[in-house]
Amino acid sequence: MRTAPRQLHLGAFLFGVGHHVAAWRHPDVDPSAALRLQHYQQLARIAEAGLFDAIFSADTMGLPGSSADLLSRNAPPHQFEPLALLAALAGVTERIGLVGTVSTTYLPPYHLARKLASLDHLSAGRAGWNLVTSGSDHEARIFGLEQQLAHAQRYERAREYVDVVKGLWDSFEDDALLLDQQAGRYFDPAKLHRLDHQGRHYRVQGALQSQRPPQGYPVMVQAGSSEDGQELAAATAELVFTAHQSVEDARAFYRSLKDRLPAQGRSPDALKILPGVSPVVGRTQAEAQEKYDRLQALIDPAVGLGLLSSFVGGFDFSAYPLDGPVPELPPTEGWQSRQALFLNLARRENLTLRQLYQRVATARGHWTVVGTPQSIADELEHWFTTGAADGFNIMAPTLPYDLQDFVALVIPELQRRGLFRTAYQGRTLREHLGLPRPAHPAQFRASGRPQTAPAVPAPATA
């Protein structure tokens, strides 16, 4: 069998009216669109026309704890529950994957298994689950806690949570259905497996009222890049979203994560790494720069600083001069990888506090490229071919406009270079990503591998 040439995988990260913190203030943007299904239907159709592997809906719990005044000047305080949004988009799309964020920390695993299985069936095999553990005290308080669990504890719980969820997805074997109307047998009772999980953090007995998801398991996605996050990703993730400001950092992360896979019995190909990138595309460099400058000029300094603070554990920068250096920060139990990203960026480029928040504001710390279709394709190709990325999660500064421009201008350039598909080849998200479909653990038992029940299968190899 000939191996197809390696091609980019692209995610379209949907986020209100755009990833730039001031997107909603742009005169072309309708700031109320973030509240309407039609807006997201349009984005999904644009992304599917652009042959993206998936659309992606991020999430946190509740409104941030910052002041009402600050929130009111920030991006739209509105975010649909990702699975509800993606289910609503399943019916108006046919091929594109649907990846939603759900935190493991505040939702019983049954509910997560159930809704992801539902989305995978409703979309005929296009669901992905972006596992996060939630990293803010304001989220903990919505669930009756004083403060969040420690970082390492959240990740330890998450690993057991994944076992439980997979066990529930395996309630039925793939070929359990008989549909024998004459004999009155809907399924083969030997192919129902009730979970009986008694772990350190979870105790779950029962079965999901769902046939096995079309993809076996929805694609397992993760975005945590801390040490704990990388270890969990190496064990469980198939797609990793990450944030880097330089190709060197991206390469180091790529190597660090891929090098962990063999110890888990996994091939480096079994996990795809997609850094986020925020593309500002112009027909000329000057046009692109003008678009970028126009958005940057709309950043409210208080909003930029507040955004920076929210990413580094809520540190209060108000006592520090905007045009002075970025102060040292205490360790956080929150989003450790993002804190490190910003501090490294500030040190490397010797940024002032103002310069740092301006960089953060364009796409919450993700890499921003400002250029022509050719120059942007050059940069993406460079990252892709030098061991920094398997593709990218595209974070359009304004939506739908910058996503439209990316699809109209950059995608054709990537296709001309043979770096991106010219038609969908597969039907499921796994097929788009070239990921194997996980076998049901009963198949391993049948083939004589060790029987551990409730088993989580070793990753299937192609």
Q: Which is nearer to its own copies, 162 or 376 (CB)?
A: 162
Q: Which is nearer to its own copies, 210 or 267 (CB)?
A: 210
| Cα 168–Cα 170–Cα 175 angle in degrees, nearest 5 | 145
How far out from the chain centre does Cα 422 lie? 24
Q: How far is the CB of 241 from its own copies (least distance, A)?
A: 20
Instruction: Name the residue with tokens 């699809």.
Output: 407
d(CA 435, CA 429): 8
Q: Which is nearer to its own copies, 203 or 347 (CB)?
A: 203
Cα-based distances in Å from 69 to 65, 74, 142, 238: 11, 9, 20, 40
How far out from the chain centre does Cα 400 lie? 19
Q: How far is the CB of 218 from its own copies (least distance, A)?
A: 12
Q: How far is the CB of 418 from its own copies (least distance, A)?
A: 35
Burial of 122 (0-12, 13-18, 19+ CB in 10 A): middle
Q: How far is the CB of 71 from its own copies (least distance, A)?
A: 7
Q: Which is nearer to its own copies, 205 or 447 (CB)?
A: 205
Cα Rg of the chain, angstroms: 22
d(CA 377, CA 1): 30
Q: How far is the CB of 190 from its own copies (least distance, A)?
A: 8
Q: Which is nearer to its own copies, 144 or 448 (CB)?
A: 144
Q: Shortest CA distance to 272 belongs to which of 220, 228, 213? A: 220
The amino acid occupying position 363 is A
d(CA 462, CA 447): 17
d(CA 359, CA 357): 5
Strand ranges inside 67-176, DSSP E: 97-103, 127-132
Q: Shortest CA distance to 458 belongs to which of 216, 114, 258? A: 216
Copy the structure tokens of residue 79.
């975010």
d(CA 212, CA 117): 7
Q: Which is nearer to its own copies, 24 or 406 (CB)?
A: 24
Q: What is the DSSP letter of 438?
A: P
Q: Which is nearer to its own copies, 214 or 438 (CB)?
A: 214
Q: How far is the CB of 83 from its own copies (least distance, A)?
A: 6
The amino acid occupying position 38 is Q
Is the distance from CB of 322 to CB of 358 less than 8 angstroms? Answer: no
Q: How far is the CB of 138 from its own copies (least distance, A)?
A: 6
Q: How far is the CB of 177 from its own copies (least distance, A)?
A: 7
Q: How far is the CB of 343 from its own copies (least distance, A)?
A: 28
d(CA 323, CA 239): 38
Q: Which is nearer to its own copies, 198 or 318 (CB)?
A: 198
Q: Which is nearer to its own copies, 107 or 329 (CB)?
A: 107
